[in-house]
Amino acid sequence: MSGETPVSDPYFPGHGDPRYRVHRYELSLDYRPGPNRLAGSARISAIAGRAPLAEFHLDLAAFRLGKVLVDGRQPRYTHRGGKLRIRPAKPLRAGAAFTVEVHWSGNPKPVNSPWGGLGWEELSDGALVASQPTGAPSWFPCNDRPDDKAAYHISLTVPSPYTVVIGGRLLTRTTKSSTTTWVYEQAAPTPSYLLGLSIGVYQTVLLGDPGLGGVPQSAYVPVPLLSEFSRDFARQPQMMRFFEELFGAYPFGEYAVVVADEDFDVPVEAQGLSLFGANHVDGTRSWERLVAHELAHQWFGNSVTIAAWRDIWLNEGFAKYAEWLWSERSGGRTTQELAAAAHRELSVLPQDLVLADPGRKSLFDDRVYERGGLTVHAVRCALGDEAFFRMVRDWVSAHRHGVVGTEAFMAHVARYAPAARPVDQLMTAWLRRGPLPPLPVVGNGGAGDGGPNGTPAAGGAAGAGILHRRRE
């Protein structure tokens, strides 16, 4: 993908500017929860594309602008309709590095979308950011496209009773008088929509035993929910080790979860961070599948990121399948049982969704998730366990911190299929056509009868080889 000339995303042609790429964002922010007042400055380090830049755009909601500079000089600019259009004093040379400085202030609010408000949301006592797919401009100027991944350095000052959680490593926390400044660094390449943030009154919880090594995991939880949380998320450290076994090393330096003191329709993933609602914590592990789903996104969606929104099944299909893998590993229903249940549900729904290009209106349709999981299962049944999990680990490793698309995935899978049983037709049926293919069944004449070297196949009577464990 890196050798191709970027173009506007057909689902969101008004977002992002393909004529340049951002290398690093440095954000300095001050937020007051009472009046919901945000003041910020951004220093954006970018590189022009293959053509000179007489003008370029940043995405930014309707804030009041202060200073705007390009390489230290004042440009001409306009700010309307969520677009900051900038004309440098001199056109930028093709391939030239340049910096943009923007100062803004105002009352942040979600940006409108077909799925409701996105981005910065004021809570009853604090705030959070959940930007997928186009909410990032609700709080900072950015090149809002999933394939423009950059590093972030963020300083955020809030009243001292509040905790600030941002995906990445906490560098410093400095208290002066009644305010505290939290400084985070996200060094891994991150698209703007995956920059997550939460401001609230939380108790910090460490998950797992730090003395045992492994990925540092922390949680930020309202005090009244601590007891329920301690049971609902108790198995996350085992889940992390299991996913590392299946998918390869966790791709970031740390992982955090936040439970907001409000209800959410669904949890939201961000880079190195997942945000849950209070309704997802009940002390009975009712929502453990979502704990697995959001954790799996750190590999599928966050490290390995789609270049265009039409390929969202690559994010959601693998995260859905991770739910099924964890269910079987933890003593619940097997992957085959869950695949069969999903197939039954899809079989009575309209058969007009093309998974590899579902259309903007169907971006978050349940069929994308369920059919995506079934597609991953179909590939596993065709390849067998040994080849399938090797394929997945190689996919994650080869595209770590990069961007991908469906075509690249199909080509990757084909390299792991036996010469006598190519998977091109199978993947075309699942990804490029609307009608639902038959349920993938282990032992139905494909490589799924058993992986190479005698590895048990998915959903077999004895369990799925690498997945089979006693109930925990």
Taking the CA atoms of 350, 354, 358 and 364 in sequence, report the sign of the dihedral they define.
Answer: positive
- Tokens 């022009």 correspond to 48
Per-position DSSP letters for 85-145, written without gaps between them = EEE-SSPBPTT-EEEEEEEEEE---PBP-TTS-BEEEEETTEEEEE-TTT-GGGTS-B---
Q: Are 71 and 56 in contact (CB under 8 A)?
A: no
**Catalytic site residues?**
294, 369
CA-CA distance, 186 to 253, in Å (whole number)?
9
Query: Distance of CA 419 to CAs 124, 378, 385, Å?
Result: 59, 17, 17
Nearest one of 377, 411, 407, 382 to 394, comparing CA atoms: 411
The amino acid that residue 362 corresponds to is: S
Helices (H) and strands (E) in the chain, counts: 9, 21
Cα–Cα distance, 108 to 117 (Å, whole number)? 12
Q: Among 380, 272, 359, which Cα is nearest to 311's?
A: 359
Contact 89, 61 (CB under 8 A): no
**Site of tokens 């097997």:** 334
DSSP states of 77-97 as a string? Answer: EEEETTEEEEE-SSPBPTT-E
Torsion angles phi and psi, residue 215, rounded to 5: -75, 125
Q: Which residues are annotated as part of the binding site for Zn(2+)?
A: 293, 297, 316
- Rounded to whole angstroms, the Cα distance separating 145 from 319 reads 21
Instruction: Determine the Cα–Cα distance for residues 108 and 178; give it in Å rounded to an integer.
Output: 22
